[in-house]
Structure 1
Amino acid sequence: MMKFYKEFKEFAVKGNMIDMAVGVIIGTAFNKVVTTLVNKVIMPPLSLLTDDVHFSDKQYVLREAKGDIEEIAIGYGALIEVLVDFLIISLTIFVVVKFINRFKAKAEDPKNKEVATPRNIELLANMEKLMKEQNELLKQRSK
């Protein structure tokens, strides 16, 4: 039990849990934005193009409702809306990651003085430079 507690404490203290919590909160908020974008911005023009047919209402009825018997239907329109949601989310995430990677690449380039380079990248760049110099000296000595 103490080992489990120690592992959990290390997990929580290192920030992994906080990072995950922030990710879940941002993901939830982002989901609301995408849902609104799909339902209020993208789907109305699509339904206009299809003579005001709403995709969420589209279904293939397997059995009609009669008395106490419920209708059984395949809601392919809801699937279309979910796929549109997925495409928008994946496209948006792609654009955001591409945008972040551009700044990350600039920050990790030790020659770029516009953006502060993280200390570990700077140290590795210095080690690489020193190793190149050392290799040049060794080549000169062996001649």
Structure 2
Amino acid sequence: MAMLQEFKDFAMKGNVIDLAVGVIIGAAFGKIVDSLVQDIIMPPIGKLLGGLDFANYYVPLNGQAANLSLAEAKKLGAVLAYGNFLTILLNFVILAFVIFQMVRLMNKAQRKEAAPAAAEPAPPAEDIVLLREIRDALKR
């Protein structure tokens, strides 16, 4: 029973719950970026490169014809699907850039919050104030 209670305490800590929320939001955000790349960015790039779906670019490795769709070519044998790889790579680059920008903004906000607190000096201790008054009295 002690181990069960220990696990419950661990699972209910704020860090674990924050991590779970972050993973769920990250997965949903990954789907948004995936849709952005596949549905909005890659079609114009594919059109510029020949008018085909960029994800269907591949090199056949077993001698089959190269004018089939990627799914049909995979059924016939091994293919080097470089178009799909480039699409996934672009997804990663966009996602990494957006996450970098979010972290950068959060760090900037944290620095702004910390700066005013550091600018205000703490009032001197009571004994220091008392010693200064004694010093000033002795000077007179």
- TM-score of the aligned structures, taking structure 2 as reference length: 0.70
Moved more, 95-104 or 11-20: 11-20
Residue 98 of structure 1: SS of its match in structure 2?
helix
* Residue pair 1:34, 1:88 contacting (<8 A) in 2 also: yes
Instruction: Return the alpha-carbon distance in structure 2 between the equivalents of residues 112 and 52 of structure 1.
Output: 59
Identity of aligned residues (%): 37
Aligned-partner residue type, residue 57 of structure 2: K
Aligned pairs (5 A) from 1:8-87: 8-63=7-62, 64=64, 70-87=76-93
Gapped runs of 5+ residues in structure 1?
114-124, 138-143
Residue 79 of structure 2: SS of its match in structure 1?
strand
What RMSD in Å do the two structures reach over aligned CA positions? 2.8
Gapped runs of 5+ residues in structure 2?
66-74, 132-140
2:103 to 80, 97, 104: 97
Moved more, 102-111 or 30-39: 102-111
* Residue pair 2:60, 2:80 contacting (<8 A) in 1 also: yes
Instruction: Return the alpha-carbon distance in structure 2 between the equivalents of residues 17 and 25 of structure 1.
Output: 12
Higher relative contact order (CA 8 A, sep 6+): 2
- TM-score of the aligned structures, taking structure 1 as reference length: 0.68
Residue 51 of structure 1: SS of its match in structure 2?
coil
Runs of 4+ in 1 over 2 A off after TM superposition: 4-7
Q: Which has the larger radius of gyration?
A: 2
